[in-house]
């Protein structure tokens, strides 16, 4: 059933290798209001990767959620709707088609997060949707002013509008002021996280910045700072989390910060390269974490997981995706991360490198922590009922997380190899090794998992919004830290109503401006 | 009397409450409502226990020891013989024990608080006020966030003044640029 997506991906890669660039105008109204699709090698390569991940997720969701016979049909429908929305966004060449894809993504991701009817799903979905809505409000404001310009032109839009475009991508891609929704959205089922929160929804913001890369010149300092902060905060918070999916969510957050940081360098294609590579190994990591959760009877507690050595394939898959994540030499992650780092070697900013190397250190720390949990002998559980048809897609993702770096690195434009000092190049590997060794020290209470208090400031939505006592649910991925979740009090309730008011205000304000200008 | 009031008059709760409450219930109108949930008459609490035997029977019915059983005060609003249990959030129970009803952190036959749906996992915690002040105040959280972000940006901008540029050769062009001689990339003569 999902095989057709792998064939689509081959088709898209074939088109992507041919150097075409097509602007396809769907319709035009009054010669200013137009709706354009733009087919470029970037679009086709991204669509190809999206199809591979979609095929894998379809098979994985059949295995993971196979017990949900009745609600599963609606689930697959919403997943397909989400992917169509993402495809729409990828091939859009104009603001109008972009906002259709953007809003469609927000709505379908809300439904996907809310699939399990539990309190944490509902609050997680609301946090996701409200943060996306904030971006939509900004988008509507931009649309009312900028609808006559193509998004991929070299037309300089002015500092204010450029800053709003960057803010827009920050809300979608969970950069620092708006990153509280990504850990909360882990209340979604694991196949949804593998598709949505690894490669598609969160990279939409980075994607529009890549497309408008030629006009981002004046904001290099801002992109670099925000990306660096997100990178650091994500990798730091992952070291303090005890929930498997939250660790992977924070890892995604740090890689998104890395992508935005790489946009601040001269070459924008490296950001796209990392986007593709990250999609592959992160989807694979989510799938292997999903297998771990299955062995643990849907508990996400990281302290009781472990694959038995009879499941050597799953151990191998997790290890490969984690080493690719760290940027271990000559896996895919190495090519994207180290080439980007070399672009920053032209000039050194001291604090920049301090935070960047510590982020690499922390990323290795949480990866080794995960490996330690996966290969533990104390908690070894067996995945028994599977066949080759349930796991063959993992081989595709595995190959891509190893090989795609080599293949694409020779093909990304503007490849500049910089041979510098021995120390600068190998400093990264000293930190890799240090991260591995540091793990085996013992520290108590050093690291917390709240992302600079953003989870309590930016998402003050309580978990108790349902009032149906008789809602029972079967296969729920239960969060493991209910003791630290939000609970009802009068202040929380008031802040929640204020959140609704602010978002409604933005939404209607945007509409008002559109109608005013039309 | 109408049929509904006859049922009210015969029901066990009619015996409870002060005289004025009984009169009020006779003259108040009956409102008919349909509910989507299911309810059984077996689940109706019994009448307010007056004698010791009634108390022991009620305690046994709700799964409590007789010395632990305490009904609500008899002021006309008591729900019959339903026990007045101490209210606590489900988070205070062991979350990882093997409950028979996992989502309710409850075994079969355990006494349920009358507002049990309010004290579920992720819902109201009646003892919140005891430890809500342990949290860091919101203004302090915001201040720390802004300080962290602003200090990172500030230090980055300071670091921009002291950038280090690794020594690199001048870029080579395959043609003569501005009078500088570069390698011309021409084949050697013979």
Give the Cα separation of B18 and A444 in Å (integer). Answer: 61
Residues A101-133 pLDDT 10s:
999 999 999 999 988 877 778 888 988 998 999
Report whether A305 contacts A379 (CB < 8 A): yes
Residue A195: name the closest of A27, A18, A49, A369 by CA: A49
- The helix-helix angle for A71-91 and A41-64 (nearest 10°) equals 170
Is residue B56 classed exposed, middle or buried when 0-12, 13-18 and 19+ CB atoms within 10 A define those classes?
middle
**The two three-digit tokens of residue B43, written as one number:** 């689940």
* Candidate from A309-313, A365-369, B11-15, B123-127 with smallest mean pLDDT: B11-15
Predicted local confidence at residue B103, as pLDDT? 74
User: How far is the alpha carbon of A191 from chain B, nearest alpha carbon, in Å?
Assistant: 23
| B124:A348 CB<8 A | no
* Candidate from A163-167, A387-391, B50-54, B119-123 with smallest mean pLDDT: B119-123
Give the Cα separation of A54 and A397 in Å (integer). Answer: 11
> Looking at the predicted structure, is the pLDDT value of residue B15 above 90?
no
Q: Give the ranges where B85-165 is alpha helix by DSSP (H).
A: 128-131, 138-161
Residue with tokens 């008011």: A501
Low-confidence ranges of chain A (pLDDT < 50): 444-445, 464-500, 502, 518
Predicted local confidence at residue A383, as pLDDT? 82
Q: Which residues of A touch B157 (CB under 8 A)?
A: 221
Q: Which residues of A touch B99 (CB under 8 A)?
A: none
Q: Which residues of B touch A489 (CB under 8 A)?
A: 128-129, 132
Predicted local confidence at residue A70, as pLDDT? 67
Predicted local confidence at residue A373, as pLDDT? 84
User: How far is the alpha carbon of A122 from chain B, nearest alpha carbon, in Å?
Assistant: 12
Q: Which residues of B touch A421 (CB under 8 A)?
A: 166
B117: CB partners within 8 A, 6+ apart = A467, A469, B123
Predicted local confidence at residue A427, as pLDDT? 74
Q: How many CB atoms lie within 10 A of CB A426?
A: 11
The residue among B136, B139, B147, B156 with the most chain A CBs within 10 A of its CB, best to mutate, is: B156
The helices-and-strands tally (H runs, E runs) of chain B is 5, 0
Predicted local confidence at residue A209, as pLDDT? 92
User: Searching chain B, which residue's CA lies closest to the CA of residue A354?
Assistant: B156
Residue A269: name the closest of A85, A92, A45, A9 by CA: A45
Residue A372: name the closest of A427, A431, A429, A438 by CA: A438
Domain boundaries, chain B: 1-28, 50-84, 86-151
Overall average pLDDT of the B152-168 stretch: 87
């Amino acid at each position: 059933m999902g095989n057709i997506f792998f064939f689509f991906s081959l088709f898209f890669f074939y088109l992507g290798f041919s150097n075409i660039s097509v602007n396809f105008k769907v319709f035009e109204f009054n010669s200013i209001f137009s709706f354009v699709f733009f087919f470029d090698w970037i679009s086709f390569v991204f669509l190809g990767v999206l199809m591979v991940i979609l095929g894998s997720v379809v098979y994985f969701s059949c295995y993971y959620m196979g017990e949900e016979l009745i609600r599963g049909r609606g689930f697959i429908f919403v997943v397909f709707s989400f992917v169509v929305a993402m495809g729409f966004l990828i091939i859009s060449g104009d603001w109008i088609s972009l906002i259709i894809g953007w809003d469609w993504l927000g709505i379908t991701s809300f439904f996907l997060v809310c699939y399990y009817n539990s309190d944490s799903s509902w609050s997680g979905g609301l946090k996701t949707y409200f943060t996306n809505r904030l971006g939509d409000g900004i988008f509507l404001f931009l649309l009312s002013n900028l609808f006559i310009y193509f998004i991929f032109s070299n037309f300089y839009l002015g500092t204010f509008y450029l800053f709003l475009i960057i803010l827009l991508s920050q809300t979608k891609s969970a950069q620092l002021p708006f990153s509280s929704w990504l850990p909360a959205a882990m209340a979604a089922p694991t196949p949804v996280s593998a598709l949505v929160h690894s490669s598609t929804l969160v990279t939409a913001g980075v994607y529009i910045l890549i497309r408008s890369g030629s006009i981002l010149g004046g904001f290099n300092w801002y992109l670099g700072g925000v990306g660096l902060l997100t990178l650091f905060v994500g990798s730091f918070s992952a070291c303090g989390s005890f929930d498997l999916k939250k660790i992977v969510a924070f890892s995604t957050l740090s890689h998104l910060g890395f992508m935005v940081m790489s946009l601040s360098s001269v070459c924008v294609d490296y950001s796209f390269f990392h986007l593709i590579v990250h999609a592959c190994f992160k989807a694979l990591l989510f799938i292997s974490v999903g297998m771990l959760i299955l062995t643990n009877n849907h508990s996400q507690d990281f302290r009781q997981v472990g694959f038995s050595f009879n499941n050597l394939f799953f151990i191998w898959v997790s290890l490969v995706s984690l080493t690719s994540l760290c940027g271990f030499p000559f896996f895919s992650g190495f090519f994207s991360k180290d080439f980007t780092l070399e672009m920053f070697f032209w000039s050194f900013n001291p604090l920049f490198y301090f935070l960047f190397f510590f982020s690499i250190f922390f990323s290795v720390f949480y990866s080794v922590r995960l490996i330690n949990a996966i290969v533990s002998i104390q908690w070894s559980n067996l995945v028994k009922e599977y066949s080759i048809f349930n796991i063959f897609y993992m081989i595709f993702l595995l190959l891509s997380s190893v090989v795609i770096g080599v293949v694409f690195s020779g093909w990304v434009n503007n490849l500049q190899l910089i041979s510098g000092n021995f120390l600068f190049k190998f400093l990264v590997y000293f930190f890799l090794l240090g991260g591995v060794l540091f793990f085996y020290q013992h520290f108590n209470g050093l690291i917390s998992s709240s992302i600079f208090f953003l989870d309590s400031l930016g998402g003050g939505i309580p978990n108790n919004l349902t009032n149906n006592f008789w809602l029972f649910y079967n296969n729920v991925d239960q969060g493991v830290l209910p003791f630290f979740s939000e609970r009802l009090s009068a202040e929380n309730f008031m802040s929640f109503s204020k959140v609704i008011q602010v978002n409604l205000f933005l939404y209607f304000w945007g509409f008002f401006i559109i109608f005013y200008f039309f | 009397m109408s049929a509904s009031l006859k049922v009210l008059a015969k029901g066990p709760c009619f015996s409870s409450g002060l005289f004025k409450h009984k009169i009020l219930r006779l003259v108040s109108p009956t409102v008919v409502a349909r509910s989507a949930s299911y309810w059984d008459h077996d689940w109706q609490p019994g009448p307010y226990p007056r004698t010791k035997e009634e108390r022991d029977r009620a305690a046994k019915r709700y799964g409590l020891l007789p010395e632990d059983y305490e009904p609500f005060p008899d002021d006309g609003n008591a729900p019959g013989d339903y026990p007045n249990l101490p209210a606590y959030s489900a988070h205070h129970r062991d979350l990882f024990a093997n409950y028979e009803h996992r989502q309710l952190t409850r075994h079969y036959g355990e006494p349920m608080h009358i507002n049990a749906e309010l004290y579920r996992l992720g819902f109201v915690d009646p003892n919140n006020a005891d430890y809500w002040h342990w949290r860091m105040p919101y203004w302090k959280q915001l201040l720390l966030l802004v300080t962290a972000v602003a200090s990172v940006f500030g230090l980055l901008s300071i670091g921009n003044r002291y950038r280090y540029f690794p020594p690199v050769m001048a870029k080579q062009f395959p043609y003569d640029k501005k009078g500088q001689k570069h390698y011309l990339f021409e084949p050697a003569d013979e």
